[in-house]
Each structure stands twice: as structure tokens, then as C-alpha cells.
Structure 1
Amino acid sequence: MTEASTVVRVAARGEGVTADGRHVPFAAPGDRLLENGMIEAGPHHQTPPCRHFPECGGCQLQHLDDAAWSQFIVDRIAGALAGQGLSAEIRAPALSPPRTRRRATLHAEPSGRVGFAVEKSHAIVDLAECHVLAPELFALVAPLRRLIHVLRPRRRLDIHLTLADQGVDLLVNGIMPEGLAAAEAITAFAETNRLARMAFDEGYGPEARWEPDAVTITLGGVPVPLPPASFLQATREGEAALVQAVKSIVGEASIVADLFAGLGTFAFAMPGRVYAAEAGREAIMALKAAAARSHRQVFTEHRDLYRRPLTPAELDRFGAIVIDPPRAGAKEQAEALAASRAPRLAYVSCNPSSFARDVKVITEGGWQIDWIQPVGQFRWSTHVELAASLSRNS
């Protein structure tokens, strides 16, 4: 067996790559590709813990141990930077443990099947176990099957689950149940499973059918109103790692800009005054209400940062800037950041490619990358998150 047949890395989509460039599905670094096409497991190849792997699209990397998964995350970021001619110190990834995902979208068929979609397919894996979902979320899978039979949907449903302060917040997209039998079934389901809220949306906006108390999510010690299916960091551990990294970058800055602020994950963790900009109306209104009730110095603006990014003159007023854009990145805002004179920048990203593209623009404006903290909060997936520290060249 030659060294050419040894798997040396894991590619972006999760397949192993041998030293001579062959791609091998479900192979880990250190595995060997035998002449008959079989894989001889190496030191980083673990037995996948879930019976649904690899059919279920919820995970792609259950065959990797934590060391190999960490290296995959680092390689993804380093590769994206190299593609832009950049390099930086990349710290050891912060990995979320199994069974800690606090938000997820499952799918349900009229037949009662409930689960994630099959990889690269619309078919649904009927979940019998799950090693990534928080137990509070997975506990609803079997009861949901029974509820689906009562509601009798005519098409596939999307079920958004979020673990809020008061319990599980559940939004069902694709149906608006009518009639006494449906109403009684929904109430019984919500009561029995101690839901925080249950809402339905047939395309005209969510309608809550059960919400005994106002639903909140605590961010930075502040209870924030939680609109249905709102964006949150996927795990508490992942959120804590990102917040810690951002706080270390911001330091003691007396006034901070939080761009693409969402519900305030970073805004409420900052020590000084915060300007928070967000395009989502429900999110920014929730942030504003929470700031007012908690008497925090967070000043909000409903602002589309793609159409109307902050100008260099506006950015220059802040001692530090935090930016956490969607997967597409923030090209227009990056151009303004490059021209600004703010001293410190925390860039949080869920897409190494758009991050590297934006940071290339920013560094060309006289900034440098100090370090990058990767975060693996989508357990055993190819999804990568990070927080990067940038500062002005002296």
C-alpha cells in the first residue's frame, strides 16, 4: 500500500482526499483506500453514533473524531483565506457537544414521517434517534407524528423548533388548522408537551395558537422577545464562544457599533453604549423593547445595510465595530469599513468564503487580521462559523 492511497484531508463537502488527489466518501484523515475500493480505518475514523448516518442530511461528518473535525474547520478557513491571498493565526475550534442544538427545522409528511431531509433529496428520514438535537427538541418528534395524523395536512410541512426561556417554541409552516377537533388537538399537544408557544403559518405570517406567557430568549442577561422562527446561534456553547471572542476584541470601547445585530446576541454583551443596526423589522423591534425594559444603553436603527451601509464618516465615531452578516457576507459594508478609521473590528461569519472576500477588501484599506476563532456548533456538519479580530495597521 502506497502513501498515495492515504487520506490526508477532508474536502469542503465532507469527502476524504488521498495524497494523490482521489476523493473518497466517508473517509477520515489517516484512512487508507484499498485496491478493492474499501476503506481501511485510520486513527481518526470513528464509528458513526447514529443509525441514520449517512442517509440523513442533518450530518455529514459523523465518521470523523473531534481532532479530524477540528482540523477540517481550520482547513476550510485557511483555504478560503488562501484563495484571497491572505493568511492569519487560526485558533483551536470551539466545538459544541452532541445533543446541544437548540434550534432546527424538521420536515413532516402527511403520512406522519418527521425528520431531516435525506442528503441531496426531498425524501424525509423518519427520526428514531438524533445525536445533535437538544433532548427537549427531539422529545417532540414522536408526539408530532401523532398530531400530524390528527391535522391531516395535504402537503409537506416545515416545523421550526427553538428552545426558548419558557420551553420549546414551535412554528409549523404549510397549514392553518381549522375546526374544533384541530383546536382541541393543538391545545392538548401544547399542554402535554409544555410548549412555550405553538404557531402556524400558511404563507400570511405566523398565527399563535398557544402562548401562555410571552416568549423570550435571554441574551447577555437580558430577556428579549422572541419572534417565531427567529435566528439564534445554534447552540448555547457556540453563542458563548462567539460572544467571548467578540468581547475580547471590543475590549473597553465606550461606544460600539453592532451591524446586522439581529436580536442582540452581541449588543447586550457589550460593556458600553451600543448602536445596533438590523434590517429585520421584528428582530430590531424586539431588541429595542428589551433594551428599553432593561435600561441598557443600546440605540437601535431599522436599517438595510446592503442598500444603505454605514459610511466611513459614520463608522469613525465608534471605538469598535461588530459585524455579523448573513452567509452572503457584506461586500458594500466591507468597502466602507476599509475606508473607515475605527481602530478595532470583530467580524463574525458563518461562511468562510464570503468572509475571506470581505476581509480581503478590508485589509486592502490598511487593516490586518490579528486572529480567528473558529466555532463548530453544527455538530458533525460541514458548516463553519468564526469570529475574527481585525485592527488598523499602526
Structure 2
Amino acid sequence: MTEATIMRLGHLGDGIAEGPIFAARTLPGEVIEGTLDGDRIASPRILTPSPNRVRPPCRHVRACGGCAMQHAADDFVAGWKSDVVRAALTAHGISADLAGIETSLPHERRRATMSMRRTKKGALVGFHAPRSDVLTAVPDCLLLHPDLTASFPALEALAVLGGSRKGEMSATITQSIAGVDVAVNGGKPLDRHLEVGLAQLAGEHGLARLAWDGELVVERHAPVQLFGKAQVVPPPGAFLQATKSGEQALLTVVRDAVQGARRVVDLFAGCGTFTLPVAQDSEVHAVEGLESMMSALDAGWRKAQGLKHVSTETRDLFRRPLLPDELNRFDAAIIDPPRAGAEAQIAEIAASKLTRLAMVSCNPVSFARDVAVLRDAGFKLGPVQVVDQFRWSTHVEVAAALTR
């Protein structure tokens, strides 16, 4: 039996003791003991608890791997996530003011990817246990919007009909104005018999739309998302900000950053999360790598009233970033890249004549790296808004304005 004192948390939320020794769901200052397996104590016993330790509110917490931080007080988690952002910036010699943290509420998550497995008695829908292939049902999940948990019987029925006992499936479920939008991957090959059965199940369970391994099975009602004044029907399984309040916090920073600009370019625009609200005041050119997203954005803009001109361009910004002469046509830019950041595009922004940039990121490390490049090109970082859309997780997002 090994005894250890937790010194700090790693970026994945594990407690770290001298050694280093890692222990999940522990907090700084806690004294723990347990069996050491390599560099990890898998099931630590808390000998001296932290004053920041709380009773996890969810009954699924021990078996489910969805929430890594339910054992910590909300104030502690907010401070820790802010420190993660601050540390990432400090590593590049960047000093920044943090404008606070916006934390989403329980039951606010409007999009999730569920794992599904057909069983002898039916089907199992849920999340995996920590570091395990074991699938745990989460009928009382405190993260998901009630509309999503209400769709679990539909997912179970879909797994029974279209799943294999030998494999696991996944379903991206998204709340929409018209009902739950479901995109399944990993099921049986779609044939006419299966398609008819799936369409019938979608009707019985009131699903707005059902897609199967990238193919549309049925769209009973258009699964509309509202971006500003525009109604958009994203492609099945398309990216969407996890919560509406989180999206609004990011959008507030973006709109403030580009306010007054006549022409704006939105890089990694997706389906128009920022493009369409910003188009209420500015002309916007939206650039995204997936044609299906650009088509959805364009259709939403054309049906909306009172928006300025929006143009779209399908382009792989990792391989073909907009060059300085293209960027110089705009008064301001918005960029919201994937977790890896946007090194190539950031380099072109640095070399351009752009003076205003709204930057959104779901990875403080790549955000800090890209900000450092812009700083060296003369940009100044404004207050950084920290956004916690993935409550009780280690995930954190940021948004800020940069000017030069």
C-alpha cells in the first residue's frame, strides 16, 4: 500500500503526487493511499480530504467516465480552469487579463455522442467508464438536456434493430427546435429492409431526423438551429457549440471584437455560429473545409431577413490558408479552429495588414501558441473570456480580441 500527498492537478484532472504518481478524482493537498500500478493509484482512498472536496451530485459518477471533476467544488473548478488558461499563456511569456469564466448549467448540454451496444436482453446506451471499454448506462445524467435523455429509448431501439452483438455503435444526438437529431455510426449496412425499419422507429419515437453512417434515412422535420436571425439545418452530426449559454458567451466576445467593421472574414466558420449573427451588422465571407456546412450556412442566410451579404468558400485552411492579399480585403477576421489550432493560417494573418481579430479556441495550449505568433507580429491580446461549456470535465474554451 502506497501513501502519497497530491501536489497539483494535471491538465486531464488527475491528481499528481511526487514521483510522479497519478490518481484520478483527487485534489491538491489530499493525502491518499492505494495500490500503485506503474505510476498510477487506480482506486485511491482519501485519508485527508481537501476542503474543496464535495459529494458528487450524480449517481453515475463512479461508473461513468463522462465527468472527471464532480468531486470538486464549483469555485475550485472555475479557478483551476482559469489557471490552466493563465499557465498556457504564461508559458509563452504572455500576460493577459482574464475576463472571468462562464460556466454552463446542469442539464444544458444540447449535443453529445453516446455509445451503444446491442445485448442479449436488448441494448445499452451510455458512456464508457474511465480508461475502460465498459459501457455504463446514464439515464439520470446531469449534463444532458432532458430532450436528449428522453431520446435514450429511441437509441436503444435503433441499436437492437441495426446493431451487431460483436461491435459498438455511436450516435451523435443534437437538440433542435424540431426535436432530437440523431446521426448513427457503426451500424449494420443500410439496405431497404433496415431503412424501412429505421424510418418507422424514428416516427414512433418522434425524432426530427435520422442518419445512418452518413446516409439520410428520414427527415420528418427539419432539425433547425437558430444562429442570430437565421434558421440553419446543419448536416447530420455537424459540430455545434455544446450549450446555448456557452455559445452566447463566445459570440459576445466575437461581436464586440468586430463591431463597426464593414467586411469580416470568418475562418473555420462551420454552419454559421458566428457568421450569421455578425451579418446583422457587417458583410461576412465565411470559409470552411466542408461543403455541406457551407451549403447549410448559405441556405440559412438566404431565407433570413435583415442580414447583410454573406458569401461562402469551401477551402481547407490547414493546407490552403487565406494569404495576406486575400485577408487584406477585410476590416476584421474571426477564427475558431479545431483543437490543433491554425498555425498556417495564423502565420498568414500575422503577415497581413489585418488589425482586428476575434479568436476562439477549445484548447488553451494551441491558443497560447497562436497568440504568441500574433504578438510577435504586433498584435495585443485583450481580456480573455474563459468558457466552461463542458461542466465537470477538464475541457475549457477561450475567446479574446486581438488588435494592432
Q: Alignment partner for residue 382 of structure 2, among 351, 370, 392?
A: 370
1:139 Cα offset (Å)? 1.3
1:142 Cα offset (Å)? 3.3
- Give the SS at the match of 2:257: helix
Q: Which residue of 2 aligns with 1:32?
A: 30
Query: CA 1:90/1:223 → structure 2, altered by over 3 Å: closer, same or farther?
Result: same
Query: CA 1:311/1:142 → structure 2, altered by over 3 Å: closer, same or farther?
Result: same
Q: Say if 2:241 and 2:247, in contact at 8 Å, map to a contact too.
A: yes
Q: Which residue of 1 aligns with 2:125?
A: 114
Q: Does 1:290 align with 2:289?
A: no
Q: Which residue of 1 aligns with 2:134?
A: 123
Query: CA 1:217/1:35 → structure 2, altered by over 3 Å: closer, same or farther?
Result: closer
Q: Which residue of 2 aligns with 1:321?
A: 333
RMSD, aligned CA: 2.3
Query: CA 1:257/1:192 → structure 2, altered by over 3 Å: closer, same or farther?
Result: same
> What is the TM-score normalised by the length of structure 1?
0.90
1:35 Cα offset (Å)? 7.6
Q: Alignment partner for residue 47 of structure 1, among 51, 55, 59?
A: 55
Name the structure with the higher strand share.
Answer: 2
Q: Say if 2:275 and 2:284, in contact at 8 Å, map to a contact too.
A: yes
1:219 Cα offset (Å)? 0.8
Specify the code of the residue in structure 2 equivalent to 1:272. S
Q: Alignment partner for residue 369 of structure 2, among 337, 357, 361?
A: 357
Cα distance in structure 2, aligned partners of 1:32 and 1:229: 41
Q: Say if 1:157 and 1:174, in contact at 8 Å, map to a contact too.
A: yes
Q: Deviations along 1:235-285, whole A, 9 cap, x unmatched?
A: 111111100111111122111110000000001111211111111110011
Q: Which residue of 1 aligns with 2:282?
A: 272
Q: Does 1:75 align with 2:96?
A: no
Give matches, 1:333-344, under 5 Å: 333-344=345-356
Q: Alignment partner for residue 360 of structure 2, among 337, 348, 355?
A: 348
Query: CA 1:19/1:199 → structure 2, altered by over 3 Å: closer, same or farther?
Result: same
Cα distance in structure 2, aligned partners of 1:23 and 1:300: 47
Cα distance in structure 1, aligned partners of 2:250 and 2:85: 16
> What is the TM-score normalised by the length of structure 2?
0.88
Q: Which residue of 1 aligns with 2:243?
A: 235
Cα distance in structure 1, aligned partners of 2:27 and 2:64: 19
Q: Deviations along 1:319-361, whole A, 9 cap, x unmatched?
A: 2110001111100111111122222111100111111111111
Query: CA 1:268/1:38 → structure 2, altered by over 3 Å: closer, same or farther?
Result: same
Q: Does 1:388 align with 2:400?
A: yes
Cα distance in structure 1, aligned partners of 2:215 and 2:54: 44
Give matches, 1:5-20, under 5 Å: 5=5, 9-17=8-16
Q: Which residue of 2 aligns with 1:144?
A: 155
Specify the code of the residue in structure 2 equivalent to 1:208. L
- Give the SS at the match of 1:38: strand
1:11 Cα offset (Å)? 2.3
Cα distance in structure 1, aligned partners of 2:242 and 2:77: 17
1:73 Cα offset (Å)? 1.2
1:178 Cα offset (Å)? 4.3
* Structure 2 gaps, min length 5: 35-44
Percent of counterpart pairs with the same letter? 39
Q: Which residue of 2 aligns with 1:97?
A: 105
Cα distance in structure 2, aligned partners of 1:304 and 1:184: 37
- Give the SS at the match of 1:229: coil
Specify the code of the residue in structure 2 equivalent to 1:127. V
Q: Which residue of 2 aligns with 1:195?
A: 207
1:179 Cα offset (Å)? 6.0
Q: Alignment partner for residue 171 of structure 2, among 144, 152, 159?
A: 159
Specify the code of the residue in structure 1 equivalent to 2:137. D
Specify the code of the residue in structure 1 equivalent to 2:297. L
1:384 Cα offset (Å)? 1.0
Q: Which residue of 1 aligns with 2:41?
A: none
Q: Say if 1:376 and 1:385, in contact at 8 Å, map to a contact too.
A: yes
Q: Does 1:252 align with 2:267?
A: no
1:20 Cα offset (Å)? 11
1:188 Cα offset (Å)? 4.3
Q: Say if 2:229 and 2:304, in contact at 8 Å, map to a contact too.
A: no
Specify the code of the residue in structure 2 equivalent to 1:389. A
- Give the SS at the match of 2:135: coil
Query: CA 1:91/1:39 → structure 2, altered by over 3 Å: closer, same or farther?
Result: farther
Cα distance in structure 1, aligned partners of 2:55 and 2:78: 17
Query: CA 1:286/1:147 → structure 2, altered by over 3 Å: closer, same or farther?
Result: closer
Q: Say if 1:352 and 1:385, in contact at 8 Å, map to a contact too.
A: yes
Q: Which residue of 2 aligns with 1:307?
A: 319
Specify the code of the residue in structure 1 equivalent to 2:296. A
1:18 Cα offset (Å)? 6.5
Q: Say if 1:127 and 1:141, in contact at 8 Å, map to a contact too.
A: no
1:131 Cα offset (Å)? 0.9
Query: CA 1:152/1:310 → structure 2, altered by over 3 Å: closer, same or farther?
Result: closer
Q: Say if 2:264 and 2:284, in contact at 8 Å, map to a contact too.
A: yes
Q: Say if 1:348 and 1:386, in contact at 8 Å, map to a contact too.
A: yes
Q: Say if 2:180 and 2:207, in contact at 8 Å, map to a contact too.
A: yes
Q: Say if 2:104 and 2:390, in contact at 8 Å, map to a contact too.
A: yes
- Give the SS at the match of 1:244: helix
